[in-house]
Amino acid sequence: DTREPVTVIGLGPMGQAMTTALLGAGHPVTVWNRTASRADAVVAKGATRAATVADALAASEIVLLSLTDYQAMDDILSTATDSLAGKLIVNLSSDTPQRTVEAARWLSDHGARLLVGGVMVSEELVGTEQSYVFYSGPRDSFDAHEATLAVLGRPDYRGEDHALAQLYYQAQLDIFLTSLAAYLHATALLKAAGVPEPTFAPYATEMFDMVSYFLRGIAEQLERGDYPGDGASVTMMGATADHIVGASDAAGIDATLPRAVQSYYHRAIAAGHGGNGWPSLYEVIRKR
Ligand code: NDP
């Protein structure tokens, strides 16, 4: 069978991993990177180095971008706008939903289409079973190239609105970044009392597993706006939030993150949710 040619622009860790996966699946891959030497490793594996951005665009109908942000896309593609017509630009770079929507308009003005992607795994997992990627943008473009995109990881199409893939990506990273910071804060709290980091690690893992258990049925409560107070009430959990801030201050460690959480509880109690379940914090969060 003949695999469609793919162009990859941007050869940071992610772009290199994607190029390697595509080559492994038998796709001819043309690459371009601002710092040309960063292409050496994938060229050694069989990728073709394009001398210019225009050459890179000319090589394939489907062009993957793996860049720091959307500004990098503007910087690169504005040097070759005459070569954009008819291309499907699949931008797998992170940025705000607003920038994503603007980029779709700009590309459309130059006769190209934008499919937005959010890769949900780190570079070493690209192309493996665990890998999945959110996409949004024109459905027909997604359908036409789904088999190629599947090489990177399970494609998860979220809708026509270009912002959606970026929003799903950010929602997932919102959970991820906050959870990782909480883990570091908790570790520092114990370290201040002399507990070595590896001693706490298995307990942290147990808590991460338990969090998903606590989420069962919560989305339905949030959707209904009904927060039964049985079990963990806002007053009870809010007292614990106060204690974590107190313990952090006493330990002399940074308490920015627990203070933010404490603030949610205080404001939920002030709004009359003290007897409700902790999911009622949602009311405080949704109405800034
Ligand atoms: P890097 O920051 O390592 O790579 C960035 C790439 O963007 C490089 O090729 C760099 O070129 C290029 N670039 C940046 N600015 C410009 C510019 N103004 N003009 C031209 N080229 C530019 O990022 P990663 O490979 O780690 O990530 C790429 C994207 O994937 C990011 O949006 C990231 O959020 C996302 N992502 C990353 C994950 C990871 O584990 N790394 C996981 C999931 C998503 P040069 O080599 O010349 O500097």
Domains of the chain (ranges plus CATH)? 6-159 (3.40.50.720), 168-286 (1.10.1040.10)
Compute the residue count for the chain.
Answer: 288
Q: Given the CA of residue 10, which atom of ligand 1 is nearest to it?
A: 9
Cβ–ligand 1 distance for 280 under 6 Å, the answer no
Q: Which residues pair with 172 in a beta bridge?
A: none
Cβ–ligand 1 distance for 86 under 6 Å, the answer no
The reported pLDDT for the residue numbered 288 is 72
15 C-alpha to center of ligand 1: Å?
8
Residue in the structure block whose two tokens are 């937005």: 116
- Cα separation, 120 vs 86, whole angstroms: 28
In this structure, the residue with its CA closest to atom 43 of ligand 1 is 119
- How many other β-carbons are positioned within 10 Å of the β-carbon of residue 13? 12
The reported pLDDT for the residue numbered 9 is 98
Cβ–ligand 1 distance for 9 under 6 Å, the answer no
Yes or no: say if 137 and 114 are a contact pair by the CB < 8 Å rule.
yes
Report ipTM (2 d.p.). Answer: 0.97
- Cα separation, 231 vs 280, whole angstroms: 13
Give the amino acid at 197.
Answer: E
- Cα separation, 246 vs 16, whole angstroms: 46
68 C-alpha to center of ligand 1: Å?
4
The reported pLDDT for the residue numbered 1 is 65
Among 7, 14, 78, 176, say which to mutate for ligand 1: greatest number of ligand atoms within 8 Å of CB.
14
Cβ–ligand 1 distance for 137 under 6 Å, the answer no
Cβ–ligand 1 distance for 94 under 6 Å, the answer yes
213-232 in b/e form (b: 16+ CB < 10 A) is eeeeeeeebeeeeebebeee
Q: Given the CA of residue 94, which atom of ligand 1 is nearest to it?
A: 32
The reported pLDDT for the residue numbered 28 is 98
Phi, psi of 287 (to 5 degrees): -110, 95
The reported pLDDT for the residue numbered 285 is 97
The reported pLDDT for the residue numbered 230 is 77
67 C-alpha to center of ligand 1: Å?
4
Cβ–ligand 1 distance for 122 under 6 Å, the answer yes
- Cα separation, 33 vs 64, whole angstroms: 12
Extract the residue ranges of the chain whose pLDDT is less than 50: none
- Cα separation, 177 vs 185, whole angstroms: 12
94 C-alpha to center of ligand 1: Å?
9
- Strands of 6-9's sheet in order across: 48-49, 29-32, 6-9, 62-65, 88-91, 113-119, 132-136, 154-159
Cβ–ligand 1 distance for 78 under 6 Å, the answer no
